[in-house]
Structure 1
Amino acid sequence: MFEIKDKSLRIKLGGFELIHAEDFPILAVGYGENSYEMSHGNFNISKYYKEKIPLKKFRVLTSSNETCEILFLSDNGEQVKCEFTIESNSLKIRILEHSHGLNRFWLYIPTSENEEIYGCGEQFSYLNLRGKRVPLWVSEQGVGRNKRDIITHFANFKDDAGGDWYTTYFPQPTFVSNRSYYAIFETYAYSKFDFSHKNFHEIEIHEIPKSIEFGTADNLYETVLNLTKRIGLPNPLPDWVYDGVILGLQGGRDIVMQKIKNALDKGLKISGLWIQDWEGKRVTTFGKQLMWNWVYDANMYPNLPEMISELRNMGIRTLGYINTFLALEGSLYKEASEKGYLVRKPNGEEYHVVVTTFPAALVDFTNPEAREWIKNVIKTNMIGIGLSGWMADFGEYLPTDAVLYDGTPAELYHNRFPVDWAKINAEAVAEAGKSGEVVFFMRAGNLYSSKYSTLFWHGDQMVNWSKDDGLPSVIVAALSMTMSGIGLTHSDIGGYTTLAKNIPDVVVTKRTKELFMRWVEQATFTPVMRTHEGNWPDENWQFDSDEETLLHFAKMSRIHALLKPYIKNLVGRYSTTGNPIIMPLNLKYKVEDTEGMKYEYLFGEDLLVAPVIESGQSTKKVFLPEDEWVNLWSDKKYSGGWYEIDAPIGYPPVFYRQNSEWGALFEKVGGAQ
C-alpha cells in the first residue's frame, strides 16, 4: 500500500513499512573509497567517506495500486530513481537510475526497541543481532574471534589472524525480523548492517545496489521458509551420506586402509572416507598441509581408482579435496599459467597469494575459459577416478587490488567469488551426470551460494570449548545459517585449528578426549557427521586414540544411521520446500530469551537437542518449551520448563515430542545402547 502526501511517503506491506519524510529520509547516497589490507585471508578495512547526502525530496513519476516509480533527490541535485512493486507478500525495490559517480548507499528502516534480528549469513557468536553493527565481507573467520581472549591476541600478533565476533566466511546481505519480514539486498559490495539504533536500522552498501526485496508472512517460521525458497534450494544429499560417518583420514593408502579396518571391527558405521591429501601433502610451520595440484598422488595412493572401487564394494564412498588455488610446484599451475587463467596484479604479473606459509595462484573465475578448464579438472581428475564428493575449500582470498579477466573491480567481485566457486562445482557435477550422487561441501559463501553448494561446513574452529570459536560456536553458526535461508550444514568433529608448535604455553590449544567425544554427540544430531584430524594431527586426540573413544564414536554413529529415515525426510523437505532443519526454539515455540537459548536447538520439529558445551559437565540445565517431551535415553516425560538433566558422556540431553509421528523410531534409537 502506498500513501503519498506532499512531503511524505509511506509504503506498507503487512506489518512492515518504510517511511520517508524530509526530517527522516528513507535514502542517502554518497561518495567514498575503501582501502584493504589482507593477511592470510583476514582483512583490515579502512573506510573513507567523502560525502553523505540525504535524499530529502521525492517526486512520484508513475503510480498505481501495485507499482510506484519515484525519483528521490537531494538539495544539491543528486538523484536515485526507484521502482517500488508490491506483489502478494513482497515489496521489491529496483534502482533504475542514479547520478553518475555515486558509490555509497544508505537505506533506513523503522524499528522498535523489542524487535529481534537474525541472519546476515553465518554468525558464530550472536544469534540475535539487535544492537549490533554487522560488517558483511567474506574473510577467514579468525583464530579465537574474541579481542578479550589471549589466543586472539596471539593470533593477531603472529599473523594478524585473530578475527573478531563478526568475521565470517559466509556473510550474506539478508536478514529476518521477529516482526515476520525478511530483507534481501542484491549486492556483493562491502556492506554494514547497523541494528544498534533505537528507532531505525541503517543499511550501508558500498555501491548502489541493483535491487532490494522485503517479504512478509504470518509468523517467523513462514518468514524464514519464504526467504529460504527465495534465495534457492540445493539438490538433496545422496542417500549414502546417511549410512554413517564420513571419516577424515590421511597419510597414504596403508595407513588409511588399516584405520578403516580397525574402526569397522569396533562397530563404527562409515559412509565415506574423506582423504584430503589424495593429491599429496606438504609440512609447514602451520602443520600438515596439502599439495594443491588436483591430480592424485600415486606415491601416497598407488592406483587410487582401484582403492576407491574396493572401498565402494565395502559400502564406503571416497571423498577428496580441492580449492580455488594452484600450487606453484604443480603441473596444473603450469598449464593454467601458460593459458592465462590466473588472477593478476595491476602490473600484469600473476597474483601469488600467501595463504599460510607458502604462495599459490588463484584461478580467475571471470574468465569463461578458465571456468571450463577447472570444471574439466574436477570432472576428469576427481569424478573421473570415482570420487563421490570433496571439500571445495576457500573462496575468501581474492585481493581487492587484483585485475580480473572481465574487468570487474575485484573489490566488487570479492564477495561474489565464493558464489561462483560453488556454481563451478555444481556445474561440474551436473555435467558429469552425478547430481544427487556426489556431495561437495564449502565454507565460504554469499548471496545465492545456497542453491549451488550441496552442503556447507562451519570452517576451522579451534579445538576447544570457546563460545566464539570452539564447539559452542558451531551451534550458533548452524542456527544463523538457518535464519539466512541455508539449511544443510555440519562441522569438523573435534574442530580443526590447533596452536601447539613454537608458541607460549599459555596459548597452547590441543583437542582433548572429552572435547572430541562431546563434539561427536552434537554432530550426531545434524544432517552429516564428518571428522577432521586437524592441522596438527599428532598433537590432537583422534577418534581412535583409545578404545573408549572409538567405542563411543561407534555408538553415536549407529544412532545417526538409525535416524536416517528422519534425517532424510528433513533434508528432502528442505530441498523441495525450504523447511528448516536445525532451528532456534523460537521458530516453533514462544521463547522469552532467544539469545539465551542459542545453545539448544530443534533438529526438525520433533527433536530438541541441548549439547554439552562445557568441560566437566555431567548434568545440564535445559529449557523445554511448552509441549510434551520424552527423554530419548530414559523415556522420562517432561512438560515445558527448566530441568536439571543427567548428561554423562554418551547421553547428551535430547528429547522428542511425545506425539511425534516418529515416536517409534525415536524409541528404537534411544534403546540402541
Structure 2
Amino acid sequence: MAAGVLCSASPAPLTSLQSSIRCCKCLAADGGQTLRERESMRHLVAAALLVVAAAAGLGRGEVTYEEIEGGFTISFQNEVIFRHTTDNPIFYIGTGNANFTEHQGNFDIQDETLIKLPLQDFTKVSVEVDVVSLVFTTATDPDLLVELTVKQASDNRVDISAKTSTFSYYNRFWVRVWAEEAEQVWGAGEQYSYLNLRGRDYPIWPREQGVGRDGGIIANLSDVDGAEGDYHTTYYPMSSFLSSRGYSLLTQTPEYVVLDFTEAAYHEVFLHNYEFYATLLREPTLMATVQAVTIYLGTQPQLPDWIMRGAILGVQRGTAEMLFRYQEARDAGVDVSGLWIQDWSGSIQTLFGHRVYWNWRWNETYYPDLDLAITTLAQEGTRVLAYANPHLIEGSDMFEEAAAHGYLMTDSHGDAFRQDFGGFLAGTVDLLSPDAFNWYKEEIEKNMIALGFGGWMADFGEYTRYDMYSRAPYDGESRHMLFPWFWAMCNRAALDSSGTTGQVVPFMRSGSLHASGSQVLAWAGDQNVNWAYGDGLPSTVIAAHNLAISGMGVTHFDIGGYTTQPPVLVRSKELLLRSAEYAVFTPVMRTHEGNKPGSNHQYYSDQDTLQQFARLTQMHTRLLPYARHLSQNLETKGTPMQRPLFLQFEEDPGSYEADYQYMYGPDLLVAPVLHKNVDEWEVYLPGEEVKWIHLWGDGTAVTGPARVKVPAPLGYPPVFYRRGSAWESIFQEIAADFGNNRKLKIRH
C-alpha cells in the first residue's frame, strides 16, 4: 500500500506502515475472537511492522554466512549478528503463562515459563549475496521447524525474521544476538536510571514510571498503594537498543518483550510470541545510526518558534487567576511564550491533590471568557495550552456520549470498562477501533484546536489493562502495547486534518516502538520534586539521552518536578531554580505547580525567584535561532536536539562516562548542577584538540579532552561552547548580557 493511501477503516491519511496496521484490522471479521483468529491478527500486525522497511529498500549490502566448528556466524558489514553452536544456540522456543495486574497504571507482571526448548540443529537452506536462510529443529519436538531469514534490505539495513511451522502451541521465543564483553548498549526508549543498560534486563511494557524508583523513604511511602517503581519502569519503553558496535536493533512485535543485557556473550530478546521479526540498522557512526533510526521510525516535525522561546507557565484555577499570573510574570520581565491551564475542563479534589475533571470540553463556568482571552493573548505573542488524555470520567457528557455509541473499551460482558484512576472512575476511548478513533480525533479538533489552543499535554496512554477489550480484534498484550502509538496517531491526525501541524504542539509522556513517528514533542513525565538520581531531577538527563537514541529527538521536563508528598517530599527554591537554569538549554521551558501546589516553591513564590526566573526565560529566547536550527535538523536529518556526548565524540573514551552531561546541538555542552548546596561542578570536556569556552568565563579556551572544576553559582549553569561555532556570536551575546560581568575561573 503506498504512503498516504486511505484504508477504508482509516481516519486520516497514513504512512504505509500505519495503513498496513489499519488494513490488518479491516481483514478481521467483526467478532473474530477465536484463538486462531487472535493469533493470526498478532502475526499480521507483526508482519505489517516490516512494510515500511520493505518499501524503503535502497540497494544491496553485505550479509555474510560463515561456518564454524559446531555452528555458524551471520554478519552484517563485518559485524557478527548471530553466532550459533550446539552448546550455545541462538534460538529457544517454549510456552508459558503471564499475569499482568494493574493498579492505577502500575503493573505487577508475573511471567512463568513452562517449556523452554533449545533449537540446536540447523540446515542451511540458502546463502546468497543479500539473504541467508536456515531451518532450525529440536529433538524434543521433531515436527517443529523454525526458519530464520536474514535479508539485506538496503546498504544500512537488515530485516530478520524467524517463522515457526507450529501455529499457536508455542507462545514464548528467546533470541540471542552475539555480543562482546566490553560492549555497551543504550536506548530501550525512555529509561531513567541508567544510560549504559548493560548488566540489567528491561521489560518493555508501558506503565507508570513509579514513585521512589531508587528506594528509600519515598519508595516505602509509595509502596503502600503499589506505586513504587523500579529502575526499568517507564511510560515510554521501546523494544530497541543501540550497541557500541554501531548497530541498532528494533524488535518488531506488539507484545511483551524483555531486553536482557545481563550476559557477557550475548544480548537476549525474550518475547511473548512464536515468531520473531526485527530490523537492524547500521551506519558508519553512532550518530548516523541514530539518525537512521529516527528517520526509519519517523522524524518529529519542526517546532514553531513560539514554543522554543521564553517559558510556558503552568497556571490553574480559572480565567482570572490565569490572567493575574500572566500579568504578574510580564511585569517582572518574564518572557511568557504560553500559559498552560490543565484544568480548562474543570477540576476535582482527591487525596492525591488537585485533579483535572476528565471531560475534554471547555468548562465555561470555571474559565469564563476563555475564548476571548485566548485571542487577546495570541495577539500579544502568548499561546494558551490545555490538557487531555484518552480517558473520560464517569458521569461526564463525553463519557455518556462515547458509551452510547460504543466508543469505550469494554469488560468481558461488553459494558464500558470503568477504571480506577485514584479518586474517580473513568472509561477509555477505544482508539484501536476506527470509529472511536475518528470520533475522538474530531473532538480534539472541535474542542481544542478550533478554540485556539496552541497545544496540550496529551497525557496517559499506558494504563490499558489486559482485561479491557476493543472492537478491534487484538489480544490483551497487543492492545496494551499498541495503545500509546494509536493515542499519538490520534493527536497527530487531528493536527494534520486541521492543517495545524507545525503550529500546534501536543506533548506526550507515553509511547512504544513507532509512536515517535506520530509525536511532536515528548516530556519526561512525573518526576519527584527532589534531587534523587533514580526519580528526581537527574533522571531527566538520562531519560532525554535514551529517548534520543531510540528515535524521539525532542523532549522537555516539568521544571522543578511534579510528585509531591509533604512533609517528606516538597519542592525547594533551589531545586526550582536549578532545574529552570538547566531547562534554558533545552528546546522547551515549562513550569508545573505539582500535584500539591501549596506545598511547593513556585516561580511566583517570592520576588527574588520571579526576577531570577525572568532572567532565565530571556536567556532561553536568545537561543531561539540556535534551537530553530536544531529543530530543522531533527525534522530533515533525524539529528536529536539533545544527545549524549559520545554521539558527538565517538572516538573519545571519556565521553562514554559523562552520563549526566549532554550536547545541546553540536556546539553547546551542558552539565546541569544536580546536587543541592553546591557552588562548583565538575565537567568533562571531550574531543581531541577541540577548544571549549566557558559561557561565564573570561573567554579563555580549554582544549579537550579535559576535566575541569567550574564555579556554578545559582543562575550560572556549567555551559561551554565550541570555539569557532557558527553560533558563537549568539553565545557571546548571552554571556555579555546575562553574565553581570562575571569572569568565573575554572580549575583543571
Shorter chain as denominator, the TM-score bin is over 0.9
1:126 positional shift: 0.2
1:608 Cα deviation (Å)?
0.4
- Which of 564, 574, 597 matches 1:514? 574
Q: Residue type matched to 1:241 in 2?
A: I
The offset of 1:36, in angstroms, is 1.3
SS of the residue corresponding to residue 227 of structure 1 reads helix
Distance 1:248 1:373 in 2: 29
- 1:189-241 per-residue CA deviation (whole Å, 9 max, x = no partner) reads 11111111111111111113552111222222222222222221121111221
Shift, 1:99, TM fit: 1.2
Q: Is the 8 A contact 2:164 2:275 kept in 1?
A: no
Tell me if the contact between 1:252 and 1:300 (Cα under 8 Å) persists in the aligned partners: yes
CA contact (8 A) 1:584 1:600 kept: yes
**Which residue number in structure 2 is paired with residue 113 of structure 1?**
181
Residue in structure 1 matched with residue 32 of structure 2 by the alignment: none
Matched residues in 2 for 1:194 and 1:595: separation? Answer: 21
Give the residue type in structure 2 aligned to 1:577. K
Name the structure 2 match of 1:286.
352
Deviations 1:486-545 (A, max 9, x none): 111000011000002xxxx5xx11111000000001111111111111101111111111
The partner residue of 2:220 within 153, 156, 163 is: 153
> Quick one: distance in 2 between partners of 1:209 and 1:572?
39
Q: Deviations over 1:405-424 (max 9, x none)?
A: 11211222212111100000
| Structure 2 residue ranges without an equivalent (≥5) | 1-62, 739-748
CA distance in 2, matches of 1:387, 1:221: 35
Letter paired with 1:72 = F
- Paired with 1:34 and 1:324, the residues of 2 have a C-alpha distance of 26
* C-alpha displacement of 1:4: 5.3
**Equivalent position amino acid for 1:617 in 2:** V
2 CA distance for matches of 1:511 and 1:578? 36
Measure, in 1, the Cα distance between the counterparts of 2:473 and 2:458: 25
Check conservation: 2:201, 2:261, Cα contact below 8 A: yes
The one-letter code sitting in structure 2 at the alignment partner of 1:146 is: D
* Residue type at the aligned position of 2:695: L
Q: Tell me what 1:482 maps to.
A: 548
Unaligned ranges ≥5, structure 1? none
Choose from 593, 600, 603 the match for 2:664: 603
- Aligned residue for 1:223? 289
- Is residue 2:629 matched to residue 1:576? no
Aligned position for 1:655: 720
- Counterpart of 1:672 in 2: which secondary structure? helix
The corresponding residue for 1:345 is 411
**Does structure 1 retain, via aligned residues, the 8 Å contact 2:359–2:396?**
yes
CA contact (8 A) 1:404 1:410 kept: no
Are residues 1:448 and 2:514 paired? yes
**How does 1:176-255 map onto structure 2 within 5 Å?**
176-209=242-275, 211-255=277-321
How far residue 596 of structure 1 moved from its aligned partner, in angstroms, is: 4.1
Question: Any idea what SS the aligned residue of 2:633 has?
Answer: helix
Return 234-243 or 174-183, whichever deviates more.
234-243
The amino acid across from 1:632 in the alignment is L
Residue 671 of structure 1 aligns to a residue whose secondary structure is helix
CA distance in structure 1 between the aligned counterparts of 2:423 and 2:348, rounded to whole angstroms: 11
Q: What's the secondary structure of 2:506's corresponding residue?
A: strand
Is contact 2:655–2:686 with CA below 8 Å preserved after alignment? no
C-alpha separation between the residues in 1 aligned to 2:322 and 2:683? 40
Q: Kindly state the Cα deviation for residue 17 of structure 1 after the two structures are TM-superposed.
A: 2.6
Report the equivalent of 2:736: 671
Compute the RMSD of aligned alpha carbons: 1.4
* Post-superposition CA distance 1:439-490 (Å, at most 9, x none): 0000000101111110000000001111011110101100111111211100
Alignment of 1:34 onto 2:94:
no
How far apart in 2 are the matches of 1:436 and 1:241? 11
Q: Does 2:626 match 1:566?
A: yes
Deviations 1:154-203 (A, max 9, x none): 1012x100111110000000100111111010012111111111111111
Q: Does 1:21 align with 2:85?
A: yes
Q: How does 1:139-538 map to 2 (within 5 A)?
A: 139-147=207-215, 149-157=216-224, 159-209=225-275, 211-500=277-566, 505=567, 508-538=568-598
How far 1:262 sits from its partner (Å)?
1.0
Give the Cα–Cα distance (whole angstroms) in 2 for the partners of residues 42 and 449 of structure 1: 21
> Which moves more between the two structures, 329-338 or 3-12?
3-12
Correspondent of 1:60 among 100, 119, 124? 124
Q: Does 1:633 align with 2:721?
A: no
2:191 to 123, 130, 136: 123
C-alpha displacement at 1:593, in angstroms? 5.2
Relative to the length of structure 1, the TM-score reads 0.97
- Following superposition, the deviation at residue 59 of structure 1 comes to 2.6
Shift in alpha-carbon separation, 1:525–1:209, aligned structure 2, 3 A: farther
Q: Hey, what does 2:65 align to over in structure 1? A: 3
Q: Distance in 2 between matches of 1:16 and 1:628?
A: 37
Q: Say if 1:16 and 1:216, in contact at 8 Å, map to a contact too.
A: no
SS in 2 for 1:61: strand
The alignment partner of 1:445 has SS state of coil
What is the one-letter code of the residue matched to 1:416?
L
State the alpha-carbon separation in 2 of the partners of residues 74 and 581 from structure 1: 48
Q: Provide the C-alpha distance between the structure 1 equivalents of 2:616 and 2:115, rounded to a whole number of angstroms.
A: 58
1:618 corresponds to which residue? 679
The residue identity in structure 1 corresponding to 2:641 is I
Give me the whole-angstrom Cα distance separating, in 1, the residues matched to 2:238 and 2:65: 31
Residue 224 to residue 209, structure 1, CA distance change in 2 (3 Å) = farther
Q: Distance in 2 between matches of 1:278 and 1:642?
A: 48
Task: Measure how far apart 1:600 and its partner are.
Answer: 0.8
Distance 2:682 2:529 in 1: 24
C-alpha distance in structure 1 between counterparts of 2:80 and 2:134, whole Å? 19
Report SS of the residue matched to 1:597: coil
Distance in 2, Cα, partners of 1:659 & 1:531: 34
Listed one character per residue, the Cα deviations across residues 228-267 of structure 1 (whole Å, up to 9, x for unaligned) are 2222112111122123111111110111101101101111
Q: State yes or no: 1:12 paired with 2:83.
A: no
TM-score, length-scaled by structure 2:
0.87
